[in-house]
Structure 1
């Protein structure tokens, strides 16, 4: 992990393993120059040195570019955020393992021909929305819903080749350098509920990866990914015409449509006639000895095509439940199960339906079934944990919440774990969980702030703030703090020592920190990880309003 936290207070493991994130160029430089009153000459020289040293060669195009984040940052973002982002969008498709194996085989075949060696991974997300995305570090996903729209293996190769270039050419890192406004933070998801569909139920907050995969690539990046992706296709034995046909289809689908199933894909990967023309030009210069692989493609994704109707019924059932039509929802989802009994999401939706009817015994059985079919999806554990907690089975509930948190940290699980900690008399851990849950918003956020209010009478000044320190990708010390109380805090002062016994510097935080609010300050002090680990941060003052 490129950015590592060293806690100023004892923290639970999930906080100690928080995900890294980044800063824009302007924020990075301003953080350095913020200390200009003390280090003006040195900071200015340092800022210039950072920009000069950040010039690097694009491994795909050979062009020199300014990129302020390291390869370590890319690898870390991919490693730490790949799983939670997949979880938030429906989890991995596991019904037919052959589909996953096939997509990975095609992806690895193309990745082997790329211009940059990365730990490439390819996963199929269990979401009907046609979409695909790449994280820095070579972590690539394609939705089940896009696989059913493609006609042959060369079109699959075109999609995966395009995403491989986004990773290999450091397009995510370039976006960070341009200033996407990504923050130092941890993934926290706010669960809306299965009524809205797993693809929309978990909204990630303060997530580098979420902002990267939802950001619109620029025209240059898209053309670059098209061109070199087609070259990778040809090197791998595929007919590049597959990319031409795919882009032509996307243009046709995008014309006159703003809210169709492809809108998410087109938002981040906008199709255009220019891209079609450029693809035709690129294909003309490449060998056409490769294959299209229509028969092989249809054979390997056959299960998806055969079960499309089941997922349509499932989505109709979700819509019916959202309108409180429980009987209609149950009828539809049972039809889906008759077509595809191996899909955990279908059984989980039955659990949601029966739980809303108060039949917790039946709901538990449905969640158990979902977990037996797919033990790697957070939502099933989260829902079963609620039943266990309501029935007083505290040990089982705690285990379920903890398991769900490992797969995807959610406000609901954090709130529940805060309640457990509070009941056990561990006020500090409870405050930390509540402070995280308070960021989720909605009823979960309100309940978390109420929890903070219950803890308030025993809170001391130095426990009102949850404080962590870490290094930005540029090696600058940053301090994150969260208001763990139910009241606004002002006049916040932090004491900072580089080593135990060293002279203490006082850092005053401007403004008011609202309940549950999280803020990051940049100190402008460059250091290595060992030096950051020795830093001591102490809350000297925090006045409740």
Structure 2
């Protein structure tokens, strides 16, 4: 009886605290209130950026895209901390995260011809956030017991390994989340309204959709895998726009967009060398890969992806000081690049710079607390320093989090078992 009473009280507590208002101004019930949704978005942002090869290292371009996004976001009903990021990946994609973050790839920016097209893409992703589509997905994925514990995500490293493990399992799903046809229609309508009311030509969104349909016949963009685009959807958007009969002066393009596009095009050849270098590295042709990454760097010295691969190659060859130079240079351009922090930590560990190594691994934990690799290498460092108690704690958390198929996992279990018996 007590359990039933507790559950009823819990239900009404969530109901009172979690009813919010959607774009249609109709209240709906959600187990994840807005403040927790925002924290989840913050938690998943470093993981999402890392999955798409870090931030594009040009502040001017980051600021421009963020300003365009914020201009549109002012129209949106939900007043959450919106933030727009450009990532290095050449994949043609854009996606939103819960509670405000929006990510667009360098590859997609290269496909756009004018600012109204960019506005259409960003506005569509804002539509998903304002319709709280991510929250509906998360409520299906996360257990109620876990929802009760995610209020303190500002210090996610203090959460239990089990909670972090579940959060990590959800993270990959968010990046490949396929919205329903009705959800896409909803995001299309909100996206059109936001872009239009921000002063942009609605044709921008239509032009992007038509570009993607042409690509679908040859090499479908990654965006289509999570945002299905049947012919009917394009027809519906055109009909919806026609009902508004937009008139007056609407923004089709700006000089600023063309300046930004020119800057991105100037780095394209460098990133093309990186793509070829990655293939060579994967195939074991390391000398060829190294040559390609070096050529990429000559063309664009800020290419953080090339810098990280060169750091890995030099480390594998035992040239630790050279590897350290490359990794530190990468972090100069992108201090919150998770992969760069882990590689820098490993290099410093191998150089026996244990205090420096720990700083990088602790930064890794704070960026992506649900990936066990930071804890494993922190454990290795503490073990070398003779602090076996802290080593054991880090190994234990690394084993909880995994992933179990990572090369370090078996060694972590061996070391944990050995110290536990010690």
Answer yes or no: same fold by TM over 0.5. Answer: yes
Task: Give the whole-Å Cα distance in 2 for the aligned partners of 1:154 and 1:308.
Answer: 22
Task: Give the whole-Å Cα distance in 2 for the aligned partners of 1:204 and 1:352.
Answer: 30
Q: Which of these residues, 413, 416, 422, is aligned with residue 452 of structure 1? A: 416
Task: Give the whole-Å Cα distance in 1 for the aligned partners of 2:207 and 2:90.
Answer: 22
Query: Is the Cα contact below 8 Å between 2:141 and 2:170 reproduced in 1?
Result: no
Residue 213 of structure 2 corresponds to residue 251 of structure 1: yes
Q: Which runs of 5+ in 2 are unaligned?
A: 158-164
Instruction: Show the 5 A alignment for 1:11-50.
Output: 38-39=1-2, 41-43=4-6, 45-46=8-9, 49=12
Instruction: Show the 5 A alignment for 1:304-343.
Output: 304-343=264-303
Following superposition, the deviation at residue 147 of structure 1 comes to: 0.7
Query: Is the Cα contact below 8 Å between 2:142 and 2:166 reproduced in 1?
Result: no
- The structure with more helix, counted as a fraction of residues: 2
Partner of 2:161: none
Partner of 1:362: 322
Residue 228 of structure 2 corresponds to residue 262 of structure 1: no
Query: In structure 2, do the counterparts of structure 1 residues 57 and 457 end up closer, same or farther at CA, with 3 Å as the change threshold?
Result: closer
Following superposition, the deviation at residue 403 of structure 1 comes to: 3.2
Partner of 1:279: 237
Following superposition, the deviation at residue 363 of structure 1 comes to: 1.9
Query: In structure 2, do the counterparts of structure 1 residues 378 and 47 end up closer, same or farther at CA, with 3 Å as the change threshold?
Result: closer
Query: Is the Cα contact below 8 Å between 1:60 and 1:165 reproduced in 2?
Result: no
Q: Which runs of 5+ in 1 are unaligned?
A: 1-37, 189-202, 459-545
Query: Is the Cα contact below 8 Å between 1:230 and 1:283 reproduced in 2?
Result: yes
Query: Is the Cα contact below 8 Å between 1:109 and 1:236 reproduced in 2?
Result: yes
Task: Give the whole-Å Cα distance in 2 for the aligned partners of 1:326 and 1:102.
Answer: 37
Deviations 1:477-520 (A, max 9, x none): xxxxxxxxxxxxxxxxxxxxxxxxxxxxxxxxxxxxxxxxxxxx
Following superposition, the deviation at residue 166 of structure 1 comes to: 1.2
Following superposition, the deviation at residue 46 of structure 1 comes to: 4.1
Partner of 1:216: 178
Deviations 1:442-480 (A, max 9, x none): 32111111122012225xxxxxxxxxxxxxxxxxxxxxx
Following superposition, the deviation at residue 55 of structure 1 comes to: 8.4
Q: CA RMSD in A?
A: 2.7
Secondary structure in 2 matching 1:376: coil
Deviations 1:315-362 (A, max 9, x none): 110110111112211221122122212222212222222222222232
- Which moved further from structure 2: 146-155 or 290-299? 290-299
- Which moved further from structure 2: 343-352 or 54-63? 54-63
Task: Give the whole-Å Cα distance in 1 for the aligned partners of 2:122 and 2:300.
Answer: 27
Partner of 1:300: 260
TM-score by length of 1: 0.68
Query: In structure 2, do the counterparts of structure 1 residues 64 and 370 end up closer, same or farther at CA, with 3 Å as the change threshold?
Result: closer
Task: Give the whole-Å Cα distance in 2 for the aligned partners of 1:267 and 1:298.
Answer: 28
Partner of 1:514: none
Query: Is the Cα contact below 8 Å between 1:137 and 1:167 reproduced in 2?
Result: yes
Residue 107 of structure 2 corresponds to residue 149 of structure 1: no
Task: Give the whole-Å Cα distance in 2 for the aligned partners of 1:64 and 1:400.
Answer: 45
- The structure with more strand, counted as a fraction of residues: 1
Residue 395 of structure 2 corresponds to residue 434 of structure 1: yes
Deviations 1:141-178 (A, max 9, x none): 1111111111211111111111112112211112233x
Instruction: Show the 5 A alignment for 1:66-465.
Output: 66-94=29-57, 96-177=58-139, 179-181=140-142, 184=146, 206-255=168-217, 260=219, 262-263=221-222, 265-286=223-244, 287-289=246-248, 290-293=250-253, 295-409=255-369, 410-438=371-399, 439-441=402-404, 442-457=406-421
Number of equivalences: 401
Task: Give the whole-Å Cα distance in 2 for the aligned partners of 1:375 and 1:55.
Answer: 36
Following superposition, the deviation at residue 208 of structure 1 comes to: 4.2
**Structure ID, larger Rg:** 1
Task: Give the whole-Å Cα distance in 2 for the aligned partners of 1:384 and 1:45.
Answer: 50
Following superposition, the deviation at residue 47 of structure 1 comes to: 6.9
